[in-house]
Amino acid sequence: FCKVGFIHKAAMDTLARECYNQRQKFDPIHFSNLLYSFATLRLPGPPGILSSIAESAAEHVHRFDAGNLAIASWALAMLGMKEQHLLDLAIDRVCLPQVCPNLGSRALSMMALACFRTGRPHRLDELLNATRLVG
């Protein structure tokens, strides 16, 4: 739906509930794509569902690559979900020397926006320092 800008709240809410029920089977890309879809359509989803999905994603943050961390962080920021623990875990992970070199310019921009929109400008300093260290 989000690729064509088609907004059907009832269908998206059903999708969110079904994804919540199957979240234990998700790979990182599934978490980030789901959050991205809701953020792109500016839909909050059913109360508590996307928050619970983000909490599940946080349990698997060690499996996320830099791109999916950036997408999920951007989506949470756009959805106004600034209290999600996944945001800090994502920043911690992309600052790691084995992950940071894979953070492209688009992903870095998404992380920067997430830092500012969620009241974490100090975390952007950490991220920029990490990128300088890895070249």
Instruction: Give Cβ neighbours of residue 70 (< 8 Å, ≥ 6 apart).
Output: 90, 94, 103, 106, 107, 108, 110, 111, 114
3-state secondary structure of 78: helix
Under DSSP, the state recorded for 96 is S
Buried b (16+ CB within 10 A) or exposed e, 83-99: ebebbebbbbbbbeeeb
Q: What is the pLDDT of residues 52-75, one digit of tens each?
A: 999 999 999 999 999 999 999 999
3-state secondary structure of 43: coil
Q: Please, which pLDDT band fits residue 39 given cuts at 50, 70 and 90?
A: very high
pTM score, whole prediction: 0.92
